[in-house]
Amino acid sequence: MNRHLSARDALPASLSRRDLEPCLLADARTLPAPMYADSAFHLFDQEAVFARSWQWVGRAAEVRAVGDHIVAEVAGRPILGVRGNDQALRGFFNVCKHRAGPLALASGHASQLQCKYHGWTYTLEGQLRAAHEMQEASDFDISCIHLDPVRVGEWQGLVFAAVEDPDMTLEQVMAGIQERIAPIELSALHFHTRVTYEVHCNWKAYVDNYLEGYHLPHVHPGLNKLLDYRAYATHTAEWYSWQHSPLDGTQGPYAGGEAHYYFVFPNLMLNLLPGRLQTNLVIPISQDHCRVMFDYHYADMESDAARAMIAEDLRFSDEVQQEDMAICERVQRGLESGAYTAGRLSPRREAGVHHFQELVRKAYREALDRK
């Protein structure tokens, strides 16, 4: 079905199988600098990693009613998630079969899908229903024309899509998270705000940085006071890792309980504080630029105390993010400098980085194997 440029068309010249061998944490070297600095890896990442994984594309609350739809891009490809007349959620490429126009420009609601270019209409199930002024076209049978499907799935109120066939189901990817964070129900939290950041580093440098608390005392003096660095721990599962720390703060969202930071390969972060979920989605834009979207969700957004807590949460998260962006952008310059090839990892503090980088190596190996 898919005729998109394949990973083999995009193999970076500097990619070597030797750099992709699995390694144990104690022996591990980081991913080599060209994987962050060589522009050939941008397209390769899209095909080897992003097209083959489950990507978060929206909230189930956006597609509750028949005709609700979500517009998104996965691995640079336009897609659409639509609630059909039978209540099933379906995914399609947002690409009309006439001349590749878009069926929807933004998330919203419609009783049918009408192409924004010349107005062909499709049912919510993706079947072409009407194509005006096509009577003279020979062998043109609208019943044979259907939008290309995309796999979609829902987990805890979040909607995901996969444009290629990933090796794993969405349930396999997320296995164990729900049980571990209980009694928190992510689907019971309400969306509040999205804040978008443009970060001038490779997406993998941003993810690496997220995955360790090693930098906390040096980069985040404020946050370090609220978390217990000594008790900060990292665990890994097959497709995700998680960090957690007891909260030492006296007020606001950091007052008591635990912070959980889940990273779902390759680019989704679920940051949980009591009564609050902040998702981060990392989108590669080019080799040295990623876009990071922070969505804030809360159990309570109404009371005065909740409003004050949310204002403080947004302010403080932005402060921490500015600190992370500044260091990630410096690291990107270091990776591009020619003065760095690969380094060693702290087995005590960088297990999450190692886990992520092993999954990147695995995705790259599999792309080479498909050659």
Q: Where are the beta strands (DSSP E) in the chain?
A: 55-59, 68-74, 77-83, 89-93, 108-109, 113-114, 121-122, 128-130, 149-155, 158-162, 190-199, 233-236, 240-246, 258-264, 268-273, 276-286, 289-298
Task: Report how far residue 287's alpha carbon sits from residue 45's, in angstroms, rounded to the nearest whole number.
Answer: 10
Selected from 80, 115, 199, 353, the binder of ligand FES by CB under 6 A is 115
**62 part of the interface to Fe ion, by CB under 5 A:** no
Residue 125 phi, psi dihedral angles, 5° rounding: -95, 5
Which segment (110-118, 191-199, 283-291, 351-359) binds ligand FES by CB under 6 A? 110-118
Which segment (58-66, 113-121, 229-237, 267-275) binds ligand FES by CB under 6 A? 113-121
The alpha carbons of the chain give a radius of gyration, in whole angstroms, of 22
Size of the site for ligand FES (CB under 6 A): 10
**Of residues 78-107, which lie at the interface with ligand FES (CB under 6 A)?**
96, 98-101
Selected from 164, 324, 336, 358, the binder of Fe ion by CB under 5 A is 324
Please report the DSSP string for 78-91 in residue order.
Answer: EEEEEE-TTS-EEE
Cβ proximity to ligand FES: between 3 and 17 the closer is 3
Selected from 88, 111, 117, 256, the binder of ligand FES by CB under 6 A is 117
Task: Report how far residue 78's alpha carbon sits from residue 94's, in angstroms, rounded to the nearest whole number.
Answer: 5
Least Cα distance to 296 among 146, 174, 194 occurs for 194
Residue 210 phi, psi dihedral angles, 5° rounding: -65, -30
**128 part of the interface to ligand FES, by CB under 6 A:** no
Cβ proximity to Fe ion: between 45 and 324 the closer is 324
Cβ proximity to ligand FES: between 117 and 308 the closer is 117
120 binds, among Fe ion, ligand FES, none (CB under 5 to 8 A by kind): ligand FES
115 binds, among Fe ion, ligand FES, none (CB under 5 to 8 A by kind): ligand FES
Q: What 8-state DSSP symbol labels residue 255?
A: S
**336 part of the interface to Fe ion, by CB under 5 A:** no
118 binds, among Fe ion, ligand FES, none (CB under 5 to 8 A by kind): ligand FES
Question: For the sheet containing 113-114, what is the strand order?
Answer: 113-114, 121-122, 128-130
Q: Would you tell me which residues interact with Fe ion (CB under 5 A)? A: 324
Which residues of the chain form contacts with ligand FES (CB under 6 A)?
96, 98-101, 115, 117-120
